Structure 1
Amino acid sequence: MKMALAKSSVVVVAAMVMVALVSSVAAVPGIATFYTPPYTPSSCFGFEDRGVIIAAAGGGIWDNRAACGRRYRVSCTGGTNDVPNPCRSGSVTVTIVDFCPGCASRGVTMDLSQEVFARIANPDAGRIRIDYTRV
């Protein structure tokens, strides 16, 4: 009886670990650039000022306007050009407020506000590799 109880406890613990692993979201790699003010009007919110911790979505995450208002945690993972070590530590959680129509042709996932880009990378880089996760 004790052996059966011990085995079922192991199964329960293993199942809990699997659920935790499956529910955790892995970061997705991408490319980011930045755009400068003014940030209004935006495709999602018109002339409503949504602050500066924002981004425009490339076609891959735009989802026919469904991305409007979604939030993503973004961090710099590396450069794409000659600027050495462009990344700054940490991440920023942005809100999608606009569509970036030119992003697809440039292979860009997100066009970050200038303020967000400067928090996670050297603006001189202009274009960086990122990891992003929907939050």
Structure 2
Amino acid sequence: MEIEIRVLIVLAMLICLSSSAHAAQGTATFYTQYVPSACYGYQNNGVNIAAASNVFWKNGAACGKRYKITCLGPTNQGVPHPCTGKTVVVKIVDYCPPGCAGTIDLSKEAFSTIANTDAGKINIQYTQ
């Protein structure tokens, strides 16, 4: 009986951990003009920042949230692999309006941490 309870506890822990560690995939581009921002106006929020597309924005609810971004590879076939192997954590400070080219628009500094800026647009994995 004691072994069965332990097995159930371990299974419950594994289920909880797997659901919280889920990462989504999308694309990232970059921008270079950081102020004013839709969330903070002319306030300086550093350079590890991003503009949220409609995927995150939710009428401004994304402001201040942080996302861990990892480059997965180029969006175009035949382009050399742009990823650096690093990850970056960014704070959402702005809105990337409809028609935005990526799921998230990173600051140039954040983008260059995870990929070569010559790529322009990359496939990413992200978690909040």
- Normalising by structure 1, we get a TM-score of 0.87
- Structure 1 partner of 2:16: 19
Alignment of 1:9 onto 2:13: no
State the distance in 2 between where 1:106 and 1:54 align.
16
State the distance in 2 between where 1:118 and 1:15 align.
39
Counterpart of 1:60 in structure 2: which amino acid?
Answer: V
- Normalising by structure 2, we get a TM-score of 0.91
Secondary structure, aligned partner of 2:60: coil
Question: What RMSD, in angstroms, separates the aligned Cα atoms of the two structures?
Answer: 1.5
State the distance in 1 between where 2:74 and 2:57 align.
24
Contact kept in structure 1, 2:29 and 2:101, CA below 8 Å: no
- Structure 2 partner of 1:68: 63
Unaligned segments of structure 1, at least 5 residues? none
State the distance in 1 between where 2:103 and 2:2 align.
50
Secondary structure, aligned partner of 1:95: strand
- More moved, 77-86 vs 109-118: 77-86
Counterpart of 1:58 in structure 2: which amino acid?
Answer: S
State the distance in 2 between where 1:125 and 1:6 align.
53
Contact kept in structure 2, 1:83 and 1:124, CA below 8 Å: no
- Structure 1 partner of 2:36: 41
State the distance in 2 between where 1:8 and 1:111 align.
47
